[in-house]
Every structure is written in structure tokens, then in C-alpha cells.
Amino acid sequence: MTSPPPDATPDTTPAASSPTSAASRRTLAAAALCGAIGAAAALVASGRVWGEGTAVLAQGELPVRVTGGEVTGLPSALALVGLAALVAVFAVRRAGRTLVAALLALCGAGTAAAAPMAVWGGQGTTALEAEAAEVTGLTHGGVEAVSFGPWPWVAAAGGVLLLAAGLLALRHGHAWPAMSGRHERAGASGPARGRRPAPDPERPEELWKALDRGEDPTAGGGGNGA
């Protein structure tokens, strides 16, 4: 006579939470990468030559060129604000995170729009004419053969990445952990103060460290090998 099988109902809580945790880590890492690369691209592109032309003089022609910062300072300014918002979005929680994520998305959208609008709106040509006037010493410099390189579009692409980071934060930010503060560890008990707790691989600062080490923070379940 066989005895009834024991109640061996498995605890599915870790298995259920593992996909959610992995998805949270992936979206957090994606937002961090998109935001950092986007801000860097916009800032670097703003310092490069956007437009070139030829100033026409009585004695001949003189080449002139302008950088993105001379055409418009909006993309670089918005990229700096977006970079600050990217850091802040991991440090705040709840409603504060939503507000900062919205600011990040707006900075990305503004950066993506400002660069091409400056070229299409005539600010690039105006900047070239001002540069020609300064070089020739005239009140107004005529410029011919005006052309614009790829850097305005690089700045716009950086804005798109910042926008993507902001949208990811708006959509998935509620599931991301916040950075730990020193004040949270100050109230630890006496025996616990002598022992440093193991770092939580899901915290944003640990993901940044993993990215700096060239590791994939989304690989594996907890950052340690099997």
C-alpha cells in the first residue's frame, strides 16, 4: 500500500520574480547607455564644424566655416540638462522619477529638433555670413557655396537617444531601484557596521560599474557566475 505523495508544491516566487528582475535590469541598462551615448554625441557634435562656405572679396575668395556652437547653442545646452536628468532619474523615486524622466525626454526631443531646424531655418547661413564679415572686416559678408556636413545630424541622433532614455524611464522607471544613500547606512547596528554588505547588482551604481568594466549587466541573474 503506497502512501499518498507529499505536498511538494514548489515555491514559484523566485522563478516568477527572476524574469521581472532581468527585464528591469535590461531596461535600466538600456536607458543608461542611450542617455550617456546620446548626450556625448550631442556635445561632441556641437563642437565640430557644421557649415562651410566661401566669402567673396574683391581680391578673391576666402573659405569660412562655423561650428555647431556658433550656429546654435541649444543642442549642447539641452544635452547637458539631459545628462544631469539622466543621473537624477536613478537617484529619485516615485513622482520625482516621473518628473525627471519627463524632463529627460523633453531635452532629448529638443536636442533632436534644434540641430536640423538651425540648418533648415537659415541659422547656419547667418552664422557663416557673420564669420565672413568678421574675417573680412566688413559689416556684412556675402557667402557662396554653402554646405553643411553630417554633424548636425549626429547631434540630432544624440537627441533621439536621449529621448529614448527618457521614454524608457517613463515606462519602466517605477520598477528600477534607486541609488543608495549614505544616510541609509548610517543607522546600521554596531556589529553590522564592521561588515560591508555585498553590493546589490541591480542598483544603478553597480550597473554603471559593470559598464565601466566592460561587462554586460544584463547577463546572468545576479552578476555572479553559476
pLDDT digits over 91-102, tens only?
Answer: 888 888 999 999
pLDDT by residue (tens digit) across 174-191? 888 776 554 444 444 444
Q: How many residues does the chain have?
A: 226
DSSP state of 139: S
Assign a CATH topology to domain 27-173.
Butyryl-CoA Dehydrogenase, subunit A; domain 3 (1.20.140)
The pTM for the full model equals 0.69
42-77 core/surface letters (b: 16 or more CB in 10 A; e: else): bbbbbeeebbbbbbeeeeeeeebebbbbbbbebbbb
**Whole-number pLDDT of residue 85:** 94
| Pair 111, 158: CB distance under 8 Å | yes
For residue 12, is pLDDT > 60? no
pLDDT tens digits for range 52-108: 888 877 677 788 889 999 999 999 999 999 999 999 988 888 888 999 999 999 999
Only one residue has cell 554653402, namely 146
- Of the chain, the percentage scoring pLDDT greater than 70 comes to 71
User: What confidence score (pLDDT) does residue 195 get?
Assistant: 58
- In this predicted structure, what is the pLDDT of residue 198? 62
Residue 128 binned pLDDT confidence (cut-offs 50, 70, 90): confident
Task: Return the bridge partners of 49, or none.
Answer: 67
First vs last C-alpha separation in the chain: 42
Q: Is the pLDDT of residue 34 over 80?
A: yes
Share of residues in the chain with pLDDT > 90 (%): 36
